[in-house]
Structure formats: C-alpha cells, structure tokens
Structure 1
Amino acid sequence: MTSSASTRVVLGRTGLSVSPVCVGTAAWGVISPEHELSVPEDAAIATVHAMLRSPVNFLDTSNNYGGGESERRIGVALQQSGIPDDLVLQTKLDRDPDTGSFGADRMRRSFDESRERLGDATVHVAYLHDPEHIGFEAAMAPGGPVDALLALRDEGAVAHIGISGGPTRMLRRFVETGLFDALITHNRYTLIDRTADELLTVAADAGLGVLNAAVYGGGVLSRAPRVTDRYAYRAASHDVLSAIDDIGAACERRGVPLLAAALQFSTRDPRIHSTICGMVSPDQLAQTLDLLDIDIPPELWDEIDELVPGRDSWIND
C-alpha cells in the first residue's frame, strides 16, 4: 500500500517523525548544470512556503547545493514564514569547493556555513556527503571527516548524523560501522536499477533511517515517451533505455503515469522511510502529492519486475 503524504514514518533510530516524501533542493541554485535548469529565487522560496502549507514536513539540502544558494533560500523562506514545530530539516557536510578538502576543519566550516544560511532553523540530521571522493579509509581515518561529524553530535551541535553518497558497497561499509543514524542512497534503487537493494536491507535491519533519492533517474523516468537518453546524469545504455521504454508502455496500457510508478516504487518499500524528490516549484510539489494517491494495480508491479534490465546494466557499484 502506498502511504499518503499526511502519513508519518519514524526515521529509524533517530525517532524523528517524517512524511513519506521529502522535498529535495539540489537544483536550487543560480544555475545547476547537472540538472540542466536554473531555479529562480522566488520559485524556491515559494516552494518552501507551499511545503509548509502541505502535509510534507521533511526538507533536504546540502552545503554545496547551488554553491550555498539552496540553504540560503531555505533560510529566507523560513524567516518569512516561521518555523513549524514538526519541520524536519537535514543538510550535508561538503568538501571544500576549491581544494576538495574533507579535513575536520573543513567539515566544521561546512556545518557553520550551513547553520548561518539556514538561520534559526534546527538541523536535525547532518550527513557526510559524497565520501567516494576520498574513499572509506580516508573518511574514517583519525582526525578525518567522520571524526568531525561524531564530534558535532557529541557536542550537541546536531542530534543525528548520516552518510550520503553513491557507491553502494562503500556506503555499506559506513553503515556497518554502527556510527551513523541515517543513510541516503541515490539513483540506485529505481524502476530500472536495483543496485542498492542489499544496502537498503542492511541499513534498515541496523535501525538506520533510510532515504532513497533521485527515483526519476535525473528525469528519464518522468514521462513516456521519454525525452532524454541519460540516466543518473550520464548516457544510458541501450538495454536501460529499452527497459525504460517498455516500462513506460506498460504503464500507459494501464493508465498509470510513469512518474507515479517511479515514485511509488520507492514509497511502497517498507525499508525506505522517506523518498527525496527534487522539487522546484509549488506546482511540482502539488503534482508529487497527487502521484502518491494514484492507484497502481499489483499486476503492473509484476510486469515492471519482469522488464527490469539485467544486473550488468545497473550502476552496480
């Protein structure tokens, strides 16, 4: 069964009560080449206001989204509207944009920059972001970024810490340390890629809050017929594109938008506490909430499972 947006789910051992969808703000910058769009400031601020009027209470950002513009715009919106008691806000600690440093000093500066931009809003979860740029061993080394994150939690600067990145085998190593409260995986558990399947089970069994992001694969799973040949921000293989076309056709035959299937594939999974969806306008927020309530017959899920491309076509890291 698909949860409606008003449902609340406990985010693993954090104890935080969150909506089944989380507003993602990765594209909220002056320009976002990776997302191939530019989000005006007034649109971003209006999206926060619309979220605060909606059943959604979960907001995701990062120090480096839009070069800091994402956090700043959230801070402006929350200053205008006030901060609801049930709002859950999370951000990510990022490497230095100029030097690439993940040093402990940089992690603290990243957190301080985020807090300054976000104003009076409480950061409930802080994540180490994209540690694949230095690898597990360097991230876990004494005096490294994980130590800095643990210190922030121990000092009470943030209540919960998480790990957010790409390669699933690396993320599993972080999960198995027992140090983290939450996990974000992206582009690796979607209609056409199940790379993160084992990771989701390991994280959920360990009691982490589990979040799945980029369920539209960068846009290729947003409509049928598709309008791009890229998946997860890179050129997709023939097998992947063929599977997307077949799944889109199956959805069309049953009168189900491909976008709804892509979203509900994640929200229906009991291991996933919330699904991060990039939203750049109040209209996109409203559309996402409507997608949650579309009835999808079990037969379509069975057909989709049969159409998933083979493991060698997945990101499979």
Structure 2
Amino acid sequence: MLEKRKIGNTSLHVDSLGFGCASVGNLYKAISEQDASDVLHQAWDKGFRHFDTAPHYGQGLSERRVGDMLRSKTERNYVLSTKVGRILTPAGYTKERHGFRSAMPFDIQYDYSYDGVMRSFEHSLQRLGLDRIDILYMHDIGSVTHGDDHETLFQKAMAGGYKAMDELRQQGVIKAIGLGVNEYQVCEQALDHGDWDCFLLAGRYTLLEQDALHSFLPKCQQRNCSIIIGGPYNSGILATGTRGVSEPYYNYAPASKEVIERVSRIEAVCDEFNVPLPAAALQFPLAHPSIVSVIPGVGKADMIQSTLDLFNQEIPVEFWIAMQQQGLVSDSAPIPKAKS
C-alpha cells in the first residue's frame, strides 16, 4: 500500500506516488488502445489510485482513456485530477501537435476566463465519462507558455478562472483547486490572488534543481498549501542518466552540457552507494513537508512494477549527506530518512 498524504486544509488524501497520464495521450509517440488500456489497468492492479490527466494530453485522448479505465472499476477509492485553461476545438486534422501524436481531431484554444473554465470542466467530465473530478488545476498559466501575453492572461485567470474554480470547490463539486505548471514563480504569484489547496509543479523541485526552496516552498508551508511534483525525472535525464543514451533530455529538450555534467556528478555518487539514479529522483522531493506526492509518467505496463521498486528502494542516509557535501543537493533541502 502506498502512503497517503493530506492535501492542504482539505479532507482529500492522495497516494505519495501517483500516475501521470500524459503518456497515454500519445506524448512523443503513439500508444495503441490496447497498450494504453494495459498500462492503466496494470497501474490500478498494482495499487495506483492517484491519476493526473488533462485535456491537453493528446487533445482529449488521455482523458478518454483514463475515464474508460476508471469506469470499469467498481471501487471508487481513487483521486482524479484534470486541468482547465484550454478549450478543445475541431481541427480537421490528426497530425502531431504540441508534442502529442493524437488520434483526436482537435486543437487548443487558451481560455482562462470564468466561462472558459466552467466550459472546460464540463467538457472534461463528458470526455472522462465520469461524474466527478477531485482536483482541478489551472494549466500552464505563466510566462514560460505565454511570454509577453502572460500578465494579461494572468489577470484574466485570477479574476475569472479562479472565481469559477472557487465556486466549484464551494459547491462541493471538486475537492481541491490549484495550478498545474512548469514554473514555481507563477504559483508564488498566484498565492497573492487566491486561496489555493495545492500546486502541481513539474520539474522545478527535483534532485537536479531546488531553487524553489528560497521563497516559494516556505510560503506554501506558511499557507498549508500542498505540492504535487510532476516530472521528477526532469523530462528524462534523471531516469536515463547520461550514459548509454545518445541524447539525454532535460526540460523537454536535449540537455545542455552543464546539465549533463551535473547529472554525471550525481551518477558518480549513485555509483558509490549503489543507488539507482531514478530511485533517488523519485524519493528526494517527498522529504519536503509541503510535498505530498510525486507523479512520474509511465508509458508501458512492464514499467509499473519497476517504478514501484524504485520508489521503495532502500537508500542510505549517507547517500543524501554525500550529495549535500558535494553541493549536488541544497544544504537547506530536507533529505529522506531511512525507510523503516
């Protein structure tokens, strides 16, 4: 059984290891209906009960596939999150776009308004074929996605989109609201504009980078706002390492020389203590008191058990101390305790 941790001030508890569903939306490569079904059912059978999806993942494909799996289960003891901020519109084609090789003939239109968020939520329920969503995230608001348009869209999102999400929460239709983003700065900005339960932060508090420790994570502790860590492998390099791969990826692109050199130093410490790199990557974030879950993406059924094994791998405290002594983990970062 996976440990359950409480989301902020809500009554909701999530597994400390969740399942990221971008891969079943055909991220980077197409997955057949059977293979997608196999990986989702295998995850369920192995005890996963925390699933995160989004309209963006395959332009609706991930939501449809996740809903198909969850509807087949008689148990309802799962936590499901999806996202708002993109409306799907008919595209007239099914070619690859936004990194997804989708069979769904839709494209995206950003809409963070009150009406847009309500519409997106209702559409997600229909694509999922389910009568409930537990956590609703505002997806990819921020300057990384929107550049010069960020401030205008952010103001609209905080005035309109947040109001819609808050109403859904007050009505009991959803249990928690937050942002699902790749930059902690916009989460910190949003804390000044609303009462958020949690943030899904991809890639910004990992074994490789901990800048969020300086101001964002302390503010989350003060507000009792929980963090779910997506992208614990930083888009791949903390899963593959730097050896035996022709081009390691970091942050959705080929890794820079500096990143490769830093990960190589981490690998050397892993070798010294016989610790698998991806095991350290999965376990590190959860030592912080604000972090309740990590949700790696898993695209193959035979990777489910190996992911669980990495998550449960015994890692000596001495490994983490060595990482800090060599400047590879911040001195102010909480480090995992030995497993009992």
TM > 0.5:
yes
Query: Does the 8 Å CA contact 1:246/1:307 hold for their aligned counterparts?
Result: no
CA distance in 2, matches of 1:268, 1:143: 34
Match of 1:230 in 2: 249
In angstroms, what is the RMSD of aligned CA positions?
Answer: 2.2
Query: Does the 8 Å CA contact 1:28/1:280 hold for their aligned counterparts?
Result: yes
Residue range with higher mean Cα deviation, 94-103 or 9-18 = 94-103
Residue range with higher mean Cα deviation, 193-202 or 121-130 = 193-202
- Identify unmatched segments of 5+ residues in structure 2: 88-106, 331-340
Match of 2:300 in 1: 281
Match of 1:139 in 2: 154
Residue range with higher mean Cα deviation, 13-22 or 300-309 = 300-309
CA distance in 2, matches of 1:98, 1:282: 29
Instruction: Provide the secondary structure at the position in 2 that maps to 1:221.
Output: helix
Match of 1:168 in 2: 184
Match of 1:204 in 2: 221
Is 1:58 aligned to 2:50, yes or no? yes
Residue range with higher mean Cα deviation, 148-157 or 218-227 = 148-157
CA distance in 2, matches of 1:192, 1:37: 26
Match of 1:106 in 2: 116
CA distance in 2, matches of 1:122, 1:98: 23
CA distance in 1, matches of 2:85, 2:173: 17
Query: Does the 8 Å CA contact 2:242/2:264 hold for their aligned counterparts?
Result: yes
Query: Does the 8 Å CA contact 1:22/1:59 hold for their aligned counterparts?
Result: yes
**1:196-215, CA deviations, whole angstroms, 9 ceiling, x for partnerless residues?**
22322321331122111101
| Percent of residue pairs identical | 30
Among candidates 23, 27, 39, match of residue 27 of structure 1: 23
Q: State the one-letter code of the partner of 1:308.
A: L
Instruction: Provide the secondary structure at the position in 1 that maps to 2:234.
Output: coil
Query: Does the 8 Å CA contact 1:22/1:275 hold for their aligned counterparts?
Result: yes
CA distance in 2, matches of 1:177, 1:262: 32
Match of 1:308 in 2: 328
Is 1:195 aligned to 2:211, yes or no? yes
CA distance in 2, matches of 1:13, 1:76: 31
Distance 1:204 1:285, change over 3 A: farther
Among candidates 41, 50, 60, match of residue 68 of structure 1: 60
Name the structure, 1 or 2, with higher relative contact order (CA <8 Å, separation 6+): 1
- Identify unmatched segments of 5+ residues in structure 1: 311-317
* Matched positions, count: 301
Distance 1:149 1:15, change over 3 A: same
Instruction: Provide the secondary structure at the position in 2 that maps to 1:164.
Output: strand
CA distance in 2, matches of 1:136, 1:285: 40
Match of 1:184 in 2: 200
CA distance in 1, matches of 2:4, 2:82: 20
Q: State the one-letter code of the partner of 2:67.
A: G
Q: Give TM-score scaled by structure 2 length.
A: 0.81
Query: Does the 8 Å CA contact 1:11/1:17 hold for their aligned counterparts?
Result: yes
CA distance in 2, matches of 1:244, 1:290: 22
Q: Kindly state the Cα deviation for residue 138 of structure 1 after the two structures are TM-superposed.
A: 3.5
Query: Does the 8 Å CA contact 1:49/1:77 hold for their aligned counterparts?
Result: yes
Q: Kindly state the Cα deviation for residue 27 of structure 1 after the two structures are TM-superposed.
A: 2.1
Distance 1:121 1:44, change over 3 A: farther
